[in-house]
Chains A and B, each alone.
Chain A
């Protein structure tokens, strides 16, 4: 079966520290992968998507970056976190767009 793993579930980081969130998918090949951010009480904002290894598209300019070193691995990073980076981060995959399967999310609090 196809599954998506996202970790950690929660993270508290100081301002200016680096960030690395990882997402892996099992049971599928060559998925489209997505990173979304969700502010409290708000909808889902698409941050990055990837259609293949090393292929990253950014939706909005920000303090974050993404990488896809392997077919089923998607990483969200930052060199220096800002307070405004706090939120709920969701990874999603799709092998036949449209329609996504989401991970369980990471709640990031920047203090």
Chain B
């Protein structure tokens, strides 16, 4: 079946640099997307979401970009800090699928001091 995928399984950045985590989704009917952050041994935590009628949404130090033409989602983290080290998941919702979220495999972000 269709699933959410990620371009890179791991990403290593220097503290203070900006990070970009990418996600490719395959279901053009998906209308809502969420980025989650999962620290080691913990459950995923909501970071930011975006609806399909938007192409950009900003939060505190994070920005999500949605390109529906190429079915691509990205999470940008500004001035990356050691506390940002975690696994980041993108998730998509398709309305006809009981509103269940489908998750990708995740990208592990490591921030080097």
The residues of A with any CB-CB pair to B shorter than 8 Å are 6, 32, 34, 41-44, 46, 49, 57, 90, 92, 94, 97-105, 107
Contacts and interface: CB of A to CB of B under 8 A. Distances in A.
B89 A44 contact: yes
Given A42-B105, A43-B104, A49-B100, A102 B45 contact: yes
B109 interface: no
A15 B11 CA distance: 37
Interface of B: 4, 32, 34, 36, 41-46, 49, 89, 93, 98-106
Given A44-B89, A49-B100, A105 B43 contact: yes
A94 B43 CA distance: 15
Given A43-B89, A43-B104, A98 B99 contact: yes
Contacts, number: 53
Interface of B is mostly: strand
Contact of B42 (A41, A43, A44, A104): A104
B43 A103 contact: yes
14 contacts: A6-B43, A34-B100, A42-B106, A43-B89, A43-B103, A43-B106, A46-B102, A49-B100, A92-B43, A97-B93, A97-B98, A98-B34, A99-B93, A99-B101
A6 B42 CA distance: 11
Nearest to A90: B43
B46 A101 contact: yes
Contacts of B36: 102
